[in-house]
């Protein structure tokens, strides 16, 4: 994946924008009905503001992070913003990306979310999709799988993680105000994290 990082971000953005109503509906159940609106606004700004032809993947991801920080508006702004800015650290100056690079970037991104949100797995947040996805990716790569294979496994694990969020109560974010009453509903942030990974996988596969 060289110098196509903008195109990949655009794919993610389009997928998020397509799912705007769906994500917002999920957030209506256990939050404040803005997750899709927030994320779509953020990615529309990314598609518009991030340079198309800067070959430095790290620099492009950093700009993406900064853009999300200032345009998303909700908790997902500083969370995904930090994720991209942390991933950028692993890819600074790189013009192409190996499966190891991607693994490192994903690891830093996931750790960034946890640090920003002061959250761990099992709290009904985007981490319930991201942490299993990272683990599955690493397992597949350790077995000798390709970037695309790793991403397939990451997406499958993220999907299971999203399902799992239905069975647990939220202890972080707005949904935590509902406590046990949040059980039965799927977490919007975990869902957008899964959509993001799927968009990356589809981009790499094609």
Partner 1 sequence: MVGIVIVSHSRKIAEGIQELAEQVAASSGRILAAGGLEDGEIGTDAVRISDAIRAADDGDGVAVLADLGSGIMSAETAVELLDGEGIDVRLADAPVVEGAIAAAVEAACGSGIAEVIRAAEEARFVSKNIETGGRP
Ligand X SMILES: Nc1ncnc2c1ncn2[C@@H]1O[C@H](COP(=O)(O)OP(=O)(O)OP(=O)(O)O)[C@@H](O)[C@H]1O
Contact positions toward Mg ion, by CB under 5 A? 27, 31-32, 34-35, 74
Residues 6+ apart with CB under 8 A from 174: 30, 31, 32, 75
Binding site for ligand X (CB under 6 A): 27, 31-32, 34-35, 38, 74-76, 79, 113, 117, 119, 125-127, 172-174, 187-190
Choose from ligand X, partner 1, Mg ion, none: what does 82 bind? Cβ within 5-8 Å by kind. Answer: partner 1
Q: Which C-beta is closer to partner 1: that of 70 or that of 146?
A: 70
Kindly state the smallest distance separating residue 196's Cβ from ligand X, in Å. 12
For residue 156, give Cα distances in angstroms to 16, 122, 151.
18, 18, 9
Residues 136 and 36: their CA atoms lie apart, in Å, by: 27
Closest to Mg ion by CB, 35 or 201: 35
Residues near partner 1 (CB under 8 A) are 34, 38, 41, 66, 69-79, 81-82, 116-117, 173-174
Closest contact distance (angstroms) between CB of 66 and partner 1 is 7
Q: Shortest gap between Cβ of 90 and partner 1 (angstroms)?
A: 18
CB 119 within 8 A of CB 125: yes
Closer residue to partner 1 in complex, CB, 30/200: 30
The rounded radius of gyration (Å) of the Cα atoms in the chain is: 16
The size of the chain, in residues, is 206
Q: Which of 58, 112 has the CB closer to ligand X? A: 112
The nearer residue to partner 1, 181 or 205, going by C-beta atoms, is: 181
Report the C-alpha gap between 180 and 87 in whole angstroms.
34
Residues 6+ apart with CB under 8 A from 177: none
| Residue of 52, 152, 150, 63 whose CA lies nearest to 98 | 150
């Amino acid at each position: 994946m060289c110098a196509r990082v903008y195109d990949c971000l655009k794919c993610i953005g389009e997928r998020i924008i397509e799912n705007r109503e769906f994500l917002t509906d999920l957030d209506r159940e256990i939050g404040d009905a803005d997750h899709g609106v927030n994320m779509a606004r953020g990615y529309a700004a990314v598609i518009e503001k991030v340079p198309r032809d800067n070959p430095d993947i790290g620099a492009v991801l950093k700009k993406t992070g900064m853009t999300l920080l200032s345009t998303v508006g909700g908790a997902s702004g500083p969370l995904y913003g930090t994720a991209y800015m942390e991933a950028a650290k692993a890819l600074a100056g790189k013009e192409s990306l190996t499966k190891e690079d991607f693994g490192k970037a994903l690891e830093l991104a996931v750790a960034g979310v946890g640090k920003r949100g002061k959250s761990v797995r099992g709290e009904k947040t985007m981490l319930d999709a991201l942490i299993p996805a990272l683990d599955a990716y690493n397992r597949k790569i350790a077995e000798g799988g390709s970037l695309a294979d790793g991403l397939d496994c990451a997406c499958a694990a993220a999907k299971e993680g999203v399902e799992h969020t239905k069975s647990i109560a939220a202890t972080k974010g707005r949904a935590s105000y509902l406590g046990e009453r949040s059980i039965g509903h799927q977490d919007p942030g975990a869902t957008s994290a899964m959509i993001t990974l799927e968009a990356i996988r589809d981009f790499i596969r094609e």
